[in-house]
């Protein structure tokens, strides 16, 4: 009974004390699809990923009721560092959902402003960035003023004189960001300002700390389960400017979205059992990397599971050359490429979740085919080409001797006369995690399926292959659908059975694809490569060597009359892809989840 009453009491207090309007809450998930585009349009660095911010403890005086209830100490603020833009997971500051939503957009615009190292303290930085936004964007200025008007009544007026002066300065800066206002000194930290960016953004631990973790990570599975490494984030302002340090910490993910909270919310973590520590932990921000993947990769390097979970090999292998850039020559029979079928593939229909998009794509691609297949000026055909006939008769009458030109219209089979081989990178890096959307490999599977749906609809010839490698003697070349096969449940089943493989010996895979594509009779032959990173392999096939070999393979394909094109989800691709494919020979997909749409859209525009 007592317990029950206690529970009620507790809930009642919490509800009263909670400073937010949950019924008007807007979640980051509600705007996530628009956020990256908006942030980039505001001038934000396109390389940044978007993450939810972890609750940040603030030290300002709380209302008495809040102190009793123990709430009100966590607040989610927005900030940005060298890697990511962090936004609150949800905003329920205002009673009006429209304001809460607008606050997200305001924070993105603010965070997109360039940071200057000489911008002074927290208040000055935010004030200046706000002023810059308002000056450049009248519409945003109107939105901002709505937010400030709604915010001011929600803020406390401290009784302590110094704190009150501090609060007055903040209010003034909110109302007139263009006026030079300074933050008066005060012992208590100011109340958080949700319209501004984080005063002391959590910083990542140093590179050294990370290095120390690495050996531990490798050694045992039990350690691996404790993959949520903890780091005490330092809270000193001096570190803010060293955000360049964070580069060491580049997330290995390649996505614009990452469920940060999933790995970082840790208030009820197992090994944190005493209350004192838990309280202290409120002041600590954990920055954890998903070390598991790396660990398993390292392990994998050390004791290679020789054909452990192997796919089904088809024949003994094909010997292919490789380019040695140091010797500037092609080394014959250097690689052994092994065609394979994915293991455990059973015929399967297109997954339900892909049906709507597949239907849409089929409609679009059907529309591509008929009007393009009509050819005029054919030597024979079902229709007379009237234009040409009239022209010819007129010329004949003029007395000039002209040979009879082809005068028919036809719909020759093969329609657009286009063949496309899609080659997908299935290296281990495609195992990496993509937030809610699953793994890269999942996106690649979906993309292959939808691409095939679309191409079947327009009738172009196509083949689907995947590859990975373990040194030069095992370039694994997975057959998903060859040009002669129909795209049906068998081929779908193979695609669905794809798993991340090993490394990325791209040159050999491109050479084999070139050979296959050259056997196709089509006039235009497109070699489309879907990749997620640089070429690499366990031996010397990395860095310059891998890049140069791949470049040679691409050049060979071009010389043979094929059109190689690369679609990548690697944001750093700009550094090496121009060298491999030429400046216009590739496209970077910044939001990997959109790969299926981008890939099919690209195909349509490339071949239009």
Partner 1 sequence: MNAPVHAKLASQLPFYQPVADECTVFETAWRQQLPVLIKGPTGCGKTRFVAHMAAKLGLPLFTVSCHDDLSAADLVGRHLIAGGDTRWCDGPLTRAVREGGICYLDEVVEARKDTTVVLHPLTDDRRILPIERTGEELQAPPGFMLVVSFNPGYQHVLKTLKPSTRQRFVALSFDFPLPEVERAVVQHEGGVDERLAAQLVTLAGQIRRLTGYDLDEAVSTRLLVYCAKLIASGMGVRLACRTALVEPLSDEADTLAALMAVVDTQFGA
Residues near partner 1 (CB under 8 A) are 33-38, 40-43, 46, 105, 109, 136-140, 142-143, 376, 390-391, 393-395, 397-398, 400, 402, 524, 526, 563, 565, 584-588, 590, 597, 601, 605-608
Q: Nearest distance from residue 605's CB to partner 1, in Å?
A: 4
Q: Which is nearer to partner 1, 164 or 357 (CB)?
A: 357
Q: Which is nearer to partner 1, 394 or 484 (CB)?
A: 394
Q: Using CA atoms of 365, 367, 370, 376 in order, give the dihedral in degrees to the nearest 10.
A: -110
Q: Which is nearer to partner 1, 146 or 299 (CB)?
A: 146
Cβ pair 178, 131 in contact under 8 A = yes
DSSP annotation of 455 reads H
Q: What does the alpha-carbon distance between residue 76 and residue 86 come to, in Å, rounded to a whole number?
A: 9
Return the closest-CA partner of residue 423 out of 477, 490, 459, 500.
477
Q: Which is nearer to partner 1, 518 or 588 (CB)?
A: 588
Q: For residue 85, how many other CB atoms are within 10 A of its CB?
A: 23
Q: Nearest distance from residue 378's CB to partner 1, in Å?
A: 13
Q: Which is nearer to partner 1, 16 or 607 (CB)?
A: 607
Q: Nearest distance from residue 409's CB to partner 1, in Å?
A: 12
Q: Nearest distance from residue 583's CB to partner 1, in Å?
A: 8
Q: Which is nearer to partner 1, 209 or 390 (CB)?
A: 390
Q: Which is nearer to partner 1, 308 or 403 (CB)?
A: 403
Q: For residue 511, how many other CB atoms are within 10 A of its CB?
A: 25
Q: Nearest distance from residue 566's CB to partner 1, in Å?
A: 11
Give the length of the chain. 608
Q: Which residue has the tokens 């978007």?
A: 50
Q: Which is nearer to partner 1, 187 or 559 (CB)?
A: 559
* Contacting residues for 124 by C-beta, under 8 A, at least 6 apart: 182, 183
**Cβ density class 255-289: b for 16+ within 10 Å, e for less:** bbbbbbbebbebeeeeeeeeeeeeeebeebbbbeb
Q: Nearest distance from residue 306's CB to partner 1, in Å?
A: 41
Return the closest-CA partner of residue 233 out of 398, 408, 53.
53
Cβ pair 62, 72 in contact under 8 A = yes
Cβ pair 234, 414 in contact under 8 A = no
Q: Nearest distance from residue 530's CB to partner 1, in Å?
A: 15
Q: Which is nearer to partner 1, 330 or 389 (CB)?
A: 389
In angstroms, the first-to-last Cα distance of the chain is 74
Burial of residue 21 (number of CB atoms within 10 Å: 0-12, 13-18, 19+): middle
Q: Nearest distance from residue 395's CB to partner 1, in Å?
A: 5
Distance from CA of residue 89 to its chain's centroid? 19
Q: Nearest distance from residue 476's CB to partner 1, in Å?
A: 29
């Amino acid at each position: 009974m007592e317990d029950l009453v206690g529970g009620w009491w507790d809930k009642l207090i919490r509800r009263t004390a909670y400073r937010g309007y949950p019924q008007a809450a807007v979640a980051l998930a509600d705007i996530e699809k628009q956020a990256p585009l908006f942030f980039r349009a505001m001038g934000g660095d396109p390389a940044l990923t978007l993450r939810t911010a972890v609750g940040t403890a603030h030290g300002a005086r709380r209302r008495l009721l809040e102190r009793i209830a123990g709430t009100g100490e966590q607040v989610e603020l927005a900030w940005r560092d060298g890697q990511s833009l962090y936004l609150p997971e949800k905003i329920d500051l205002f009673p009006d959902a429209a304001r809460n939503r607008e606050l997200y957009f305001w924070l993105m615009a603010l965070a997109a402003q360039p940071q200057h190292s000489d911008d002074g303290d927290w208040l000055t930085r935010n004030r200046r960035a706000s002023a810059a936004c308002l000056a450049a964007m009248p519409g945003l200025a109107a939105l901002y003023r709505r937010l400030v008007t709604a915010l001011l009544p929600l803020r406390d007026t401290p009784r302590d004189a110094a704190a009150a002066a501090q609060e007055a300065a903040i209010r003034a800066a909110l109302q007139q960001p263009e006026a030079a206002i300074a933050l008066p000194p005060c012992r208590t930290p100011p109340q958080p300002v949700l319209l501004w960016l984080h005063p002391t953004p959590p910083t990542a631990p140093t590179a050294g700390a990370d290095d120390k973790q690495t050996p531990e990570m490798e050694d045992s599975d039990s350690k691996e389960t404790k993959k949520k490494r903890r780091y005490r984030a330092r809270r000193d302002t001096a570190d803010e400017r060293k955000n360049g340090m964070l580069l060491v910490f580049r997330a290995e993910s390649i996505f614009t979205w990452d469920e940060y909270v999933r790995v970082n919310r840790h208030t009820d973590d197992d090994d944190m059992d005493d209350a004192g520590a838990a309280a202290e932990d409120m002041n600590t921000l954990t920055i954890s990397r998903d070390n598991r993947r790396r660990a398993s990769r390292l392990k994998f390097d050390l004791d290679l599971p020789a054909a452990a979970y192997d796919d089904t090999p088809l024949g003994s292998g094909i010997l292919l050359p490789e380019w040695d850039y140091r010797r500037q020559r092609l080394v014959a029979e250097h690689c052994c490429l092994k065609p394979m079928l994915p293991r455990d593939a059973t015929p399967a229909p297109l997954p339900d979740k892909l049906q709507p998009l597949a239907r849409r794509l089929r409609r679009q691609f059907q529309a591509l085919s008929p009007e393009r297949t009509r050819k005029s000026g054919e030597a024979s055909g079902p229709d007379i080409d009237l234009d040409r006939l009239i022209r010819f008769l007129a010329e004949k009458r003029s007395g000039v001797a002209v040979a009879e030109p082809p005068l028919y219209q036809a719909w020759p089979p093969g329609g657009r006369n286009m063949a496309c081989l899609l080659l997908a990178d299935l290296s281990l890096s495609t195992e990496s995690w993509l937030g809610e959307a699953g793994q890269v490999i999942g996106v690649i599977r979906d993309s292959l399926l939808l691409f095939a749906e679309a191409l079947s609809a327009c009738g172009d010839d196509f083949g689907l292959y995947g590859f990975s490698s373990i040194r030069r003697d095992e370039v694994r070349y997975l057959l998903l659908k060859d040009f002669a096969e129909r795209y049906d449940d068998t081929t779908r089943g193979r695609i669905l059975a794809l798993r991340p493989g090993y490394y990325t010996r791209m040159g050999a895979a491109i050479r084999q694809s070139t050979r296959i594509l050259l056997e196709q009779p089509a006039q235009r032959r497109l070699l489309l490569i879907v990749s997620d990173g640089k070429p690499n392999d366990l031996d010397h096939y990395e860095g310059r060597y891998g890049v140069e070999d791949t470049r040679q393979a691409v050049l060979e394909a071009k010389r043979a009359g094929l059109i190689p094109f690369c679609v990548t989800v690697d944001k750093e691709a700009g550094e090496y892809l121009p060298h491999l494919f030429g400046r216009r020979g590739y496209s970077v997909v910044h939001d990997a989840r959109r790969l299926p749409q981008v890939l099919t859209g690209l195909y349509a525009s490339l071949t239009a």
